[in-house]
């Protein structure tokens, strides 16, 4: 089995990334339940949220604020056991038909088979940019950190401070980029057995219900959105996340990400020539990191 390189530079950078401008708040301070309220609860003195899915309903919460650029972090412990058909979602999204969206979705599986970490990005309502990974750990045994770092230059998806994907800004070349709309943070646990596990071939086993996902220590180190006037303020060079240190992955981080992509990536839309009939999305020919 491949081993994750021990890279001192990467560890130093990761520690700085996690600690800088950290904002920790109780869930009630920054989020609220949006549906399935009877299936959701706040635990651990307000630091944890538990979402439950059964045959009656799933459950969800979202942030009170919207954001444009910064870092969004959550510790998540996924549904254990036979989680086939379930989806635990954690994503940023604006509203409306031409919305922007940056996704983490965790697709359940039958016992003994790995979860799928599903990522996607929408710009002005256009998505179809999926990349998928198997985790290199058991995401149900403990909490793991899932971070979306987003600035005017790039979007980076991190798992336990390890970058797994980058989407760079090529808007000047006609490629959409999420930089004009504030986005809220959403999390939910829901039944998606029409597609989530083996394309819908494996259905949810309701005898295994209730399904439970846990969320801890939500952190929003990000620029709050108060309308279009926030665009220039949130993109200003004085913001911590617009500094050159966050404009491109370091060489050590690129090595970490390449390790993940070489060993655990299972789908990349940029390699799916059959799906796009060889008319590949333009960003697929551009360097991303």
Q: Which residues are catalytic?
A: 101, 105
Q: Give CA–CA dist 86/264, Å, rounded.
A: 21
Report DSSP state, residue 247. Answer: T
53 near 86, Cβ under 8 Å? Answer: yes
CA-to-CA separations, 131 to 81, 184, 261, 265, in angstroms, rounded: 24, 22, 10, 8
Outline where the chain has alpha helix (H): 8-19, 27-30, 230-234, 251-264, 273-276
Handedness of CA 259, 262, 265, 269 (dihedral sign): positive
DSSP string computed for 164-209? EEEEE--GGGT---S-SS-BEEEEEEEE-TTTTTGGGTSPP-GGGP
Which residues are paired to 41 by β-bridges? 50
Nearest to 267 by CA among 167, 164, 158: 164
């Amino acid at each position: 089995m491949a081993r994750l390189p021990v890279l001192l530079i990467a560890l130093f950078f990761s520690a700085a990334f996690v600690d800088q401008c950290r904002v920790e708040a109780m869930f009630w301070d920054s989020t609220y339940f949006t549906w399935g309220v009877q299936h959701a609860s706040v635990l651990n003195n307000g630091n944890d949220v538990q979402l439950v899915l059964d045959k009656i309903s799933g459950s969800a919460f979202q942030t009170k604020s919207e954001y444009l650029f910064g870092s969004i972090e959550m510790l998540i412990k996924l549904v254990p056991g036979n989680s086939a058909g379930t989806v635990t979602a954690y994503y940023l999204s604006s509203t409306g038909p031409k919305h922007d969206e940056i996704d983490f979705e965790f697709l359940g599986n039958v016992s003994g088979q790995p979860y799928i970490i599903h990522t996607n990005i929408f710009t002005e309502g256009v998505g179809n940019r999926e990349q998928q990974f198997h985790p290199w750990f058991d995401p149900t045994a403990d909490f793991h950190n899932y971070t979306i770092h987003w600035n005017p230059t790039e979007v980076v998806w991190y798992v336990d401070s390890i970058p797994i994907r980058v989407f760079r800004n090529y808007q000047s070349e006609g490629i959409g980029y999420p930089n004009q709309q504030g986005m809220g943070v959403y999390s939910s646990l829901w039944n998606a057995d029409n597609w989530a596990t083996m394309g819908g071939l494996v259905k949810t086993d309701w005898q295994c219900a209730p399904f439970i996902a846990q969320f801890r220590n939500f952190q929003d180190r990000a620029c709050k959105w108060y309308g279009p006037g926030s665009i220039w303020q949130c993109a200003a060079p004085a913001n911590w996340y617009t500094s050159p240190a966050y404009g491109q992955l370091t060489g050590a981080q690129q090595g970490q990400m390449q390790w993940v992509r070489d060993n655990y990536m299972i789908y990349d839309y940029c390699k799916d020539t059959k799906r796009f009939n060889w008319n590949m999305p333009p960003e697929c020919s551009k360097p991303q990191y």
